[in-house]
Amino acid sequence: MESNTHAARPRWQIKGITDECTTCECCGRSNLRRTVALCPLDAEGNEGGGVSYYGTACAADTLRWTTTKVTNTARLATRQCDERDAWARRIISVFAPVEHATAREQANARFSRNPHSKGPASAEVAGLLEMARAQLTDITLAPARPHTVADFQPYWAVWDGTQVLRTVAVLPDRTAARRSVDEVIRQSRARRVLEPQVHTVHALDMQAAEEVAYAHAARARYESYRSQQGWRVNTPDQSRS
Protein backbone atom coordinates (compact mmCIF):
# COMPACT_ATOMS: atom_id res chain seq x y z
CA MET A 1 0.00 0.00 0.00
CA GLU A 2 1.21 3.46 -0.80
CA SER A 3 0.51 6.93 0.58
CA ASN A 4 0.94 10.40 -0.84
CA THR A 5 2.92 13.18 0.79
CA HIS A 6 2.20 16.81 1.51
CA ALA A 7 4.82 19.05 3.13
CA ALA A 8 6.97 15.91 3.52
CA ARG A 9 4.25 14.18 5.57
CA PRO A 10 1.88 11.40 4.48
CA ARG A 11 -1.82 12.28 4.47
CA TRP A 12 -3.70 9.37 2.93
CA GLN A 13 -3.31 5.65 2.47
CA ILE A 14 -5.08 3.60 -0.17
CA LYS A 15 -6.67 0.55 1.46
CA GLY A 16 -7.98 -1.03 -1.73
CA ILE A 17 -10.93 -1.23 -4.10
CA THR A 18 -14.48 -2.14 -3.14
CA ASP A 19 -17.79 -2.60 -4.91
CA GLU A 20 -19.70 -2.45 -1.62
CA CYS A 21 -19.79 1.35 -1.81
CA THR A 22 -20.75 2.74 -5.23
CA THR A 23 -21.10 6.43 -4.36
CA CYS A 24 -18.15 8.82 -4.30
CA GLU A 25 -18.05 10.56 -0.92
CA CYS A 26 -16.09 13.43 -2.47
CA CYS A 27 -18.28 14.55 -5.38
CA GLY A 28 -21.45 12.57 -4.66
CA ARG A 29 -21.50 10.72 -7.97
CA SER A 30 -23.42 7.46 -7.62
CA ASN A 31 -23.81 4.15 -9.43
CA LEU A 32 -20.05 3.71 -9.77
CA ARG A 33 -18.80 0.21 -10.46
CA ARG A 34 -16.37 0.50 -7.55
CA THR A 35 -14.69 3.03 -5.30
CA VAL A 36 -11.25 3.48 -3.79
CA ALA A 37 -11.00 3.24 0.01
CA LEU A 38 -8.84 6.03 1.44
CA CYS A 39 -7.72 6.24 5.06
CA PRO A 40 -6.41 9.55 6.50
CA LEU A 41 -3.01 9.46 8.18
CA ASP A 42 -1.73 11.61 11.01
CA ALA A 43 1.56 13.49 11.07
CA GLU A 44 3.43 10.33 12.09
CA GLY A 45 1.89 8.28 9.31
CA ASN A 46 -0.54 6.37 11.52
CA GLU A 47 -4.15 5.78 10.52
CA GLY A 48 -6.01 8.69 12.01
CA GLY A 49 -9.68 8.34 11.19
CA GLY A 50 -12.47 6.59 9.36
CA VAL A 51 -12.17 5.36 5.79
CA SER A 52 -13.60 7.44 2.93
CA TYR A 53 -14.72 6.03 -0.42
CA TYR A 54 -13.84 8.05 -3.51
CA GLY A 55 -14.20 7.46 -7.20
CA THR A 56 -10.89 6.97 -9.01
CA ALA A 57 -10.83 10.49 -10.45
CA CYS A 58 -11.55 12.15 -7.10
CA ALA A 59 -8.98 9.93 -5.40
CA ALA A 60 -6.41 10.97 -8.00
CA ASP A 61 -7.21 14.66 -7.43
CA THR A 62 -6.99 14.24 -3.67
CA LEU A 63 -3.67 12.40 -3.81
CA ARG A 64 -2.36 14.47 -6.73
CA TRP A 65 -1.61 11.29 -8.61
CA THR A 66 -2.56 9.99 -12.03
CA THR A 67 -5.62 7.79 -12.22
CA THR A 68 -3.37 4.97 -13.45
CA LYS A 69 -1.23 5.19 -10.33
CA VAL A 70 -4.32 5.23 -8.12
CA THR A 71 -5.76 2.19 -9.89
CA ASN A 72 -2.53 0.20 -9.75
CA THR A 73 -1.92 1.06 -6.09
CA ALA A 74 -5.51 0.19 -5.14
CA ARG A 75 -5.33 -3.15 -6.94
CA LEU A 76 -2.09 -3.99 -5.14
CA ALA A 77 -3.62 -3.05 -1.78
CA THR A 78 -6.67 -5.21 -2.52
CA ARG A 79 -4.47 -8.15 -3.49
CA GLN A 80 -2.51 -7.76 -0.25
CA CYS A 81 -5.77 -7.71 1.70
CA ASP A 82 -6.85 -10.93 -0.03
CA GLU A 83 -3.52 -12.51 0.94
CA ARG A 84 -4.03 -11.47 4.56
CA ASP A 85 -7.53 -12.98 4.44
CA ALA A 86 -6.08 -16.27 3.20
CA TRP A 87 -3.47 -16.21 5.99
CA ALA A 88 -6.21 -15.53 8.55
CA ARG A 89 -8.32 -18.45 7.32
CA ARG A 90 -5.32 -20.77 7.65
CA ILE A 91 -4.54 -19.54 11.16
CA ILE A 92 -8.13 -19.95 12.36
CA SER A 93 -8.49 -23.36 10.73
CA VAL A 94 -5.36 -24.68 12.46
CA PHE A 95 -5.55 -22.98 15.84
CA ALA A 96 -9.21 -22.25 16.64
CA PRO A 97 -9.95 -25.93 17.41
CA VAL A 98 -7.27 -25.86 20.16
CA GLU A 99 -8.00 -22.37 21.46
CA HIS A 100 -9.36 -23.75 24.73
CA ALA A 101 -7.30 -26.94 24.76
CA THR A 102 -4.45 -27.84 27.08
CA ALA A 103 -1.08 -26.13 26.85
CA ARG A 104 0.35 -29.38 25.49
CA GLU A 105 -2.18 -29.54 22.67
CA GLN A 106 -1.58 -25.90 21.81
CA ALA A 107 2.17 -26.48 21.77
CA ASN A 108 1.70 -29.42 19.41
CA ALA A 109 -0.46 -27.30 17.10
CA ARG A 110 2.13 -24.52 17.09
CA PHE A 111 4.92 -27.01 16.43
CA SER A 112 3.06 -28.24 13.35
CA ARG A 113 3.43 -24.77 11.77
CA ASN A 114 6.69 -23.59 13.29
CA PRO A 115 8.89 -26.14 15.09
CA HIS A 116 11.34 -23.39 16.07
CA SER A 117 8.86 -21.28 18.06
CA LYS A 118 9.75 -20.50 21.65
CA GLY A 119 7.84 -19.15 24.61
CA PRO A 120 4.35 -19.99 25.88
CA ALA A 121 2.26 -21.51 23.12
CA SER A 122 -1.00 -20.27 24.63
CA ALA A 123 0.04 -16.63 24.31
CA GLU A 124 1.16 -17.09 20.72
CA VAL A 125 -1.99 -18.97 19.73
CA ALA A 126 -4.18 -16.31 21.32
CA GLY A 127 -2.28 -13.53 19.56
CA LEU A 128 -2.47 -15.21 16.16
CA LEU A 129 -6.19 -15.86 16.51
CA GLU A 130 -6.82 -12.26 17.57
CA MET A 131 -5.01 -10.93 14.49
CA ALA A 132 -6.73 -13.41 12.18
CA ARG A 133 -10.21 -12.59 13.46
CA ALA A 134 -9.54 -8.88 13.26
CA GLN A 135 -8.54 -9.33 9.61
CA LEU A 136 -11.64 -11.30 8.63
CA THR A 137 -14.03 -9.00 10.47
CA ASP A 138 -12.55 -5.83 8.97
CA ILE A 139 -15.27 -4.36 6.75
CA THR A 140 -13.21 -1.72 4.95
CA LEU A 141 -13.44 -3.49 1.59
CA ALA A 142 -16.06 -6.20 2.14
CA PRO A 143 -18.52 -7.53 4.71
CA ALA A 144 -17.11 -9.69 7.49
CA ARG A 145 -15.93 -13.05 6.18
CA PRO A 146 -16.52 -16.45 7.88
CA HIS A 147 -14.13 -16.68 10.83
CA THR A 148 -15.52 -19.08 13.44
CA VAL A 149 -15.31 -22.83 14.00
CA ALA A 150 -19.04 -22.95 13.22
CA ASP A 151 -18.15 -21.77 9.70
CA PHE A 152 -15.82 -24.72 9.06
CA GLN A 153 -16.68 -27.05 6.17
CA PRO A 154 -15.53 -30.66 5.64
CA TYR A 155 -12.81 -31.43 3.11
CA TRP A 156 -11.20 -34.64 1.97
CA ALA A 157 -7.42 -34.46 1.86
CA VAL A 158 -5.69 -37.10 -0.25
CA TRP A 159 -2.33 -37.79 1.42
CA ASP A 160 0.42 -40.06 0.10
CA GLY A 161 2.60 -40.00 3.20
CA THR A 162 4.80 -37.16 1.99
CA GLN A 163 2.46 -34.52 0.60
CA VAL A 164 -1.16 -33.54 0.08
CA LEU A 165 -2.10 -34.56 -3.44
CA ARG A 166 -5.50 -32.89 -3.48
CA THR A 167 -8.05 -31.31 -1.17
CA VAL A 168 -11.69 -31.65 -2.21
CA ALA A 169 -14.73 -29.92 -0.74
CA VAL A 170 -17.12 -32.62 0.46
CA LEU A 171 -20.13 -30.33 0.16
CA PRO A 172 -22.40 -29.50 -1.56
CA ASP A 173 -21.94 -32.43 -3.97
CA ARG A 174 -20.55 -35.40 -2.07
CA THR A 175 -20.82 -37.70 -5.08
CA ALA A 176 -18.76 -35.39 -7.28
CA ALA A 177 -16.23 -34.99 -4.47
CA ARG A 178 -15.88 -38.76 -4.19
CA ARG A 179 -15.32 -39.07 -7.94
CA SER A 180 -12.62 -36.42 -7.77
CA VAL A 181 -10.90 -38.19 -4.88
CA ASP A 182 -11.11 -41.58 -6.60
CA GLU A 183 -9.51 -40.12 -9.72
CA VAL A 184 -6.62 -38.68 -7.70
CA ILE A 185 -6.11 -42.04 -5.99
CA ARG A 186 -6.20 -43.86 -9.34
CA GLN A 187 -3.60 -41.53 -10.82
CA SER A 188 -1.46 -41.81 -7.71
CA ARG A 189 -1.50 -45.59 -7.76
CA ALA A 190 -0.47 -45.56 -11.40
CA ARG A 191 2.76 -43.68 -10.71
CA ARG A 192 3.61 -44.06 -7.01
CA VAL A 193 4.57 -46.82 -4.63
CA LEU A 194 2.95 -45.28 -1.57
CA GLU A 195 -0.73 -45.99 -1.11
CA PRO A 196 -2.64 -42.70 -0.76
CA GLN A 197 -4.95 -42.17 2.18
CA VAL A 198 -8.00 -39.96 2.51
CA HIS A 199 -8.42 -37.88 5.66
CA THR A 200 -11.39 -35.73 6.57
CA VAL A 201 -10.39 -32.29 7.82
CA HIS A 202 -12.44 -29.21 8.65
CA ALA A 203 -11.45 -25.70 7.66
CA LEU A 204 -12.67 -22.34 6.37
CA ASP A 205 -11.64 -22.99 2.77
CA MET A 206 -9.75 -25.44 0.58
CA GLN A 207 -6.36 -23.77 0.98
CA ALA A 208 -6.75 -23.77 4.75
CA ALA A 209 -7.85 -27.42 4.63
CA GLU A 210 -4.55 -28.34 3.01
CA GLU A 211 -2.68 -26.59 5.81
CA VAL A 212 -4.77 -28.41 8.41
CA ALA A 213 -3.88 -31.72 6.75
CA TYR A 214 -0.18 -30.87 6.89
CA ALA A 215 -0.57 -29.80 10.53
CA HIS A 216 -2.18 -33.13 11.42
CA ALA A 217 0.65 -34.99 9.67
CA ALA A 218 3.33 -32.91 11.41
CA ARG A 219 1.76 -33.51 14.81
CA ALA A 220 1.49 -37.23 14.11
CA ARG A 221 5.20 -37.41 13.19
CA TYR A 222 6.14 -35.39 16.27
CA GLU A 223 4.08 -37.54 18.62
CA SER A 224 5.46 -40.70 17.00
CA TYR A 225 8.97 -39.42 17.65
CA ARG A 226 8.14 -38.60 21.28
CA SER A 227 6.62 -42.06 21.69
CA GLN A 228 9.81 -43.67 20.40
CA GLN A 229 11.78 -41.60 22.89
CA GLY A 230 9.69 -42.96 25.75
CA TRP A 231 7.17 -40.13 26.08
CA ARG A 232 3.53 -40.90 26.74
CA VAL A 233 1.47 -39.38 23.96
CA ASN A 234 -2.11 -39.20 22.84
CA THR A 235 -2.73 -39.87 19.17
CA PRO A 236 -4.86 -37.07 17.67
CA ASP A 237 -8.24 -38.13 16.37
CA GLN A 238 -8.33 -38.10 12.60
CA SER A 239 -11.59 -39.12 10.97
CA ARG A 240 -11.14 -41.00 7.76
CA SER A 241 -13.37 -41.71 4.88
- Is residue 16 domain-shared with residue 61, that is, in the same domain? yes
pLDDT, one tens digit per residue, over 149-193 is: 999 999 999 988 788 889 999 999 999 999 999 999 998 888 876
- Is residue 30 domain-shared with residue 64, that is, in the same domain? yes
What's the confidence (pLDDT) of residue 46? 87
What's the confidence (pLDDT) of residue 120? 86
- Domain of residue 129 covers 79-137
* Overall domain count for the chain: 3
State the sign of the Cα–Cα–Cα–Cα dihedral 80, 116, 161, 168. Answer: negative
pLDDT, one tens digit per residue, over 191-202 is: 876 788 899 999
The answer, yes or no, to whether residue 8 has pLDDT greater than 50, is no
Q: What is the chain's alpha carbon radius of gyration, rounded to the nearest angstrom?
A: 23
Contact 182, 175 (CB under 8 A): no
The answer, yes or no, to whether residue 73 has pLDDT greater than 90, is yes
Q: Report pTM.
A: 0.84
Distance CA 90, CA 106 (A): 16
- Is residue 26 domain-shared with residue 84, that is, in the same domain? no
Domain boundary among the residues 74, 93, 124 is at 74
